[in-house]
Amino acid sequence: MIQIKTFYFNDLRECTYVLWDETLECIIIDPGCYSSSERERLVKFIVSENLKPVKIVNTHGHFDHIMGNAFVATEWGIKTHIHPQDKPHLERAQKYSELFGYSIEQPPLDTIDIDDGDKITFGNSFVTVMHTPGHTRGGVSLYNLEEKFVITGDALFAGSIGRTDLPGGDYDQLMESLLGRLVKLGNDFKVYPGHGPVTTIGQELDTNPFLRYE
pLDDT digit string, tens, across residues 23-81: 999 999 999 999 999 999 999 999 999 999 999 999 999 999 999 999 999 999 999 99
In a domain, 146, yes or no: yes
DSSP string, 169-214: --HHHHHHHHHHTGGGG-TT-EEEESBS--EEHHHHHHH-TT----
The domain that holds 190 is classified in CATH as 3.60.15.10
| Domain span at 96 | 3-207
In a domain, 214, yes or no: no
In a domain, 212, yes or no: no
At 104-159, the pLDDT tens digits run 999 999 999 999 999 999 999 999 999 999 999 999 999 999 999 999 999 999 99
Q: How many domains does the chain have?
A: 1
In a domain, 51, yes or no: yes
